[in-house]
Amino acid sequence: MCGIAGFIDFNRNGNLDLLKKMSDTILHRGPDDSGHELFDTGSAQVGLGFRRLSIIELSALGHQPMKFEEEGLTVIFNGEIYNYQEIRKELEGHGYTFKSHSDTEVILKSYAKWGEKCVERFIGMFAIALYDAQKAKVILFRDRAGVKPLFYYHSNDLLLFGSELKIFHAHPQFKKQISYSALSLYFQRGYISAPHTIFENTYKLDPGHILEIDLQTKDVADWKYWDVVDCYNEPKLDISYAEAKKETERLMLSAFQYRMIADVPVGVFLSGGYDSTAVTALLQKNSTQKIKTFTIGFEDPKFNEAHHAKNVADYLGTEHYEHICTYKDALDMVDELPHIYDEPFGDTSAIPTTLVSRMAREKVTVALSADGGDEIFAGYPKYFNAVDRINQLNKIPAVVGKLIPAWLHSDVSTQNKLSKLKDYAASTNPVKQFDIISQAMTFYETQQLLNKEITQLNTPFDEGNKLNDAYYLLSKFQATEYKTYMVDDILQKVDRATMSISLEGREPFLDQRIIEFVAKLPTSFKYKNGIGKYILKDIVHDYVPREMMERPKMGFGVPLQSWLRKELKHVLLDVLNEQTLREQNIFNVDRVIKMRDKYLAGEPIEFQRLSYLFLFQLWYKKWMN
């Protein structure tokens, strides 16, 4: 739902036209309505801009910015508060009255009643900007899991904020100065971890955080109201497996049904894997109407799961829609990626995610996406492989040298394995060791690639000591990826893909009640006898036959490695030509050209590195030229 844009200008150089220009850059997030308010506090200008995608309260009563004039409050809000009806009843018991049926009005009056602590009552996804005239403050809130994005830029007595980075380019005082240390993070992982962004003085508000700006003192305070680490640091529950399964299913059904609340049509992305099948099965079992499900397939059988999804849909009895994507469909998307993903983004599954969003938008305005299941229930094989590697290396340090040949030929570590082994040996933090194993490049390698001075930025991978040492490595990896890969890769991918076509994406597994419960379950309930997502799979098998579900895990990607040698070769040569690279003065050009030419000659290289370079160059051409 929607997009927000705004500024706090202590120089008081803003105006309504500028605010409208900023918010219109995200017209795709909200084509149904717009609103703009400019306040002059005497010490600063506060601009609040809004683009609306109407989901709940379709009438003009849902218009934003929305005011609670008696309390001097004004709010703009991107997202949904799913339990707003229950909160509204509670507020009515305290004497509050309501003009609309919107969750936005519930936010305003919740803040009036409980202040910043109101956010602790919300079940939902949200990026909120609230102007409190009486306290002379602007307060930004981001939801616990980070489903909804919230960026801000702070420099020279100017603070810009909004749902996407492209908003800031519309402001004449925004300086699009690349942070090369953040660029190093991109080449390490394919995304840039919060709170960092590709630009200097520009940040992502961390999930579960609040940013408060004092309009009199200019002070900016950032604090945390929720952290998944705290969930994992709680004592494990003394509970039977049967009780855990029953409660997990109850919480899932509640979370899934909350995400069906809307005044517009709702559907589900169905891949046929366990996570999307769980969402579809529980909803269809408890619905009198057929759930709309959407699947995209590919002509290449290595990337095609459409037939699996159709089998599940037929078994559950959904109203199923399928589109087989041609190479041309996917190739045409490559040119659009830099506009949709306005920060360098290395996950090529953005292409099929955008295509399935476009298909779904023809039938619905809201689509449920089953992300988070692997992080919550321990589904990624890389977790188990890393646990084995780390345990092997840490238990027998005296003979690490004997393990080097096995490491060098393993599929756990990829490129420049000796560099990884060196970084690994220098770390005593198992979460950092997990990161090193998983990286596309080490920090040292990015130093060799970039023709710039860079520093190593802190990320949640450096904070493994915040997780209880008594718990398994598996839990530490899950908690950290919930704060990194899930939010800055998976959720960014889905938000931009869906909102690029004015489709609201909802994430039912990311209801905080699920992670707060499942994090406290014994690890054996999630990983047992070599099986990840054990309890989730057990729940699904009560709805769909085991033999229909059990198959090797597939990625949701595209064959970029093949395309760049054939169909996209001309684009690769254009963005990675020597003259362009030398003019940019960002990279060690000789290294890049050598990598490019080896790839084009069919020699073995670490393709992920080249793909990150290619996608960065597409981004640079769009936003920096």
In the predicted model, what is the mean pLDDT of the chain? 92
What pLDDT digit, counting tens, does each position of 11-46 carry? 999 999 999 999 999 999 999 999 999 999 999 999
- What is the average per-residue pLDDT within 446-462? 95
Distance, CA of 104 to CA of 78 (rounded, Å):
9
Statement: the pTM of the whole predicted model exceeds 0.85: yes
Evaluate whether 188 touches 457 at the Cβ level (below 8 Å). Answer: no
pLDDT band at 385 (very low <50, low <70, confident <90, very high): confident
Give the model's pLDDT for residue 416: 65
Evaluate whether 534 touches 527 at the Cβ level (below 8 Å). Answer: yes
Tokens coding 570 = 């001309």
pLDDT at 398 over 50: no
pLDDT at 414 over 70: no
Distance, CA of 335 to CA of 342 (rounded, Å):
13
Give the model's pLDDT for residue 402: 47
- What is the average per-residue pLDDT within 76-82? 97
- What is the average per-residue pLDDT within 570-599? 96
Q: Following CA atoms 615, 616, 622, 624 in sequence, which dihedral angle do they give, to the nearest 10 degrees?
A: -170
The number of residues in the chain equals: 625
Give the model's pLDDT for residue 323: 87
* Residue tagged 């469909």 (tokens): 329
Tokens coding 533 = 């997502």
What pLDDT digit, counting tens, does each position of 235-271 carry? 999 999 999 999 999 999 999 999 999 889 999 999 9
2 catalytic residue (yes or no): yes
pLDDT at 288 over 70: yes
Secondary element (H or E) of residue 45:
strand 45-52
pLDDT band at 409 (very low <50, low <70, confident <90, very high): very low
> First vs last Cα of the chain: how many Å apart?
31
Give the model's pLDDT for residue 1: 61
| Long-range contacts, 34-39 (Cβ 8 Å, 24+) | 35/63, 35/64, 35/65, 35/76, 36/65, 37/65, 37/74, 38/14, 39/74, 39/131, 39/133
For residue 463, give the nearest of 182, 228, 235 by alpha carbon. 228
Give the model's pLDDT for residue 388: 83
DSSP bridge pairs for 161: 6, 152
Distance, CA of 82 to CA of 55 (rounded, Å):
12
Q: pLDDT: is 359 or 423 the higher one?
A: 359
Give the model's pLDDT for residue 471: 59
Give the model's pLDDT for residue 444: 92
Q: pLDDT: is 172 or 468 the higher one?
A: 172
pLDDT at 417 over 80: no
Catalytic-role residue among 2, 118, 231, 325: 2
Give the model's pLDDT for residue 470: 57
Distance, CA of 350 to CA of 328 (rounded, Å):
16
Give the model's pLDDT for residue 389: 79
Q: Phi first, then psi: what are they for 461, rounded to 5°?
A: -65, -20
What are the structural domains, with CATH classification, of the chain?
3-226 (3.60.20.10), 230-377+484-549 (3.40.50.620), 381-473 (no CATH), 560-623 (no CATH)
What pLDDT digit, counting tens, does each position of 291-314 carry? 999 998 877 777 677 889 999 999
Q: pLDDT: is 193 or 335 the higher one?
A: 193
What pLDDT digit, counting tens, does each position of 470-483 carry? 557 899 999 999 99
User: Which segments of 263-379 does DSSP mark as H helices, in order?
Assistant: 274-285, 306-316, 327-334, 337-340, 350-361, 373-377
Distance, CA of 544 to CA of 274 (rounded, Å):
10
Percent residues over pLDDT 90 in the chain:
78
pLDDT at 418 over 80: no
Three-state DSSP at 475 gives: helix
- What is the average per-residue pLDDT within 108-136? 98
Write the burial class of residue 470 (CB in 10 Å: 0-12 exposed, 13-18 middle, 19+ buried): exposed
Q: pLDDT: is 573 or 299 the higher one?
A: 573
- What is the average per-residue pLDDT within 176-195? 98
What pLDDT digit, counting tens, does each position of 313-366 carry? 999 999 999 988 877 887 888 889 999 999 999 999 999 999 999 999 999 999
